[in-house]
Amino acid sequence: MGREIERKFLVKGEGWREAATRQTRMRQGYLSDGMSRSIRVRLEGNRAAINIKSSRDGIQRLEFEYPVPVEDAVAMLDHVALKPLIEKTRYEVPVGAHLWEVDVFEGANSGLIVAEVELGSVDEAFERPDWAGEEVSHDHRYYNVSLRENPYKNWKE
């Protein structure tokens, strides 16, 4: 059984960019709505997958992912997925013993930059870089499924 344990932070500044080792453009769409679970299809470079996640229990949740043909993913994104789609570029940034993922959102979520680090356990220690700002792990507004329902461009300060 898959389990995801991650911490999520807003990104401040551009210090992460020089350490980024890889970038991948992503398009993803949700086939379900609501916070109790998410079912999404993601096109990531030249691969595609269906992903199913349970609701969060703190910073962890169940997660299952299965490859699908790219052509099927494109059709699902274009004709089945709820709109708007989530569009972003993901950068991989090694920090200490962990690989951080920095997501630079586009489209309806343009202007939002979030960093995530996946952990092996809820209490695992990790090095927090200076560009990792406010922690938003428990703020549902920053979940990708929520960004589809309430895009960043609609938020009021």
pLDDT score recorded for residue 56? 67
6, 143 contact by CB (below 8 A): no
The whole-number pLDDT of residue 57 equals 67
Let me know if 91 is a catalytic residue.
no
Q: How does 45-84 read in b/e, with b if 16+ C-beta sit within 10 Å?
A: eeebebbbbbebeeeebebeeeeeeeeebeebbeeebeee
Please give the model's pTM, rounded to 2 decimal places.
0.91
Position 59 scores a pLDDT of 75
Q: Is 152 helix (H, G, I), strand (E, B) or coil?
A: helix
The number of domains in the chain is: 1
Mean pLDDT of the chain: 93
Half-sphere exposure of 39 (CA within 13 A, CB side): 7
Token pair, residue 95, equals 């920090």
pLDDT digits (tens, 9 = 90+) for 94-146: 999 999 999 999 999 999 999 999 999 999 999 999 999 999 999 989 999 89
Catalytic residue among 30, 91, 142, 143: 30
**140, 146 Cβ separation under 8 angstroms:** yes
- CATH number, position 80: 2.40.320.10
Domain hosting 124: range is 3-154
Write the pLDDT tens digit of every residue in 11-26: 999 999 999 999 999 9
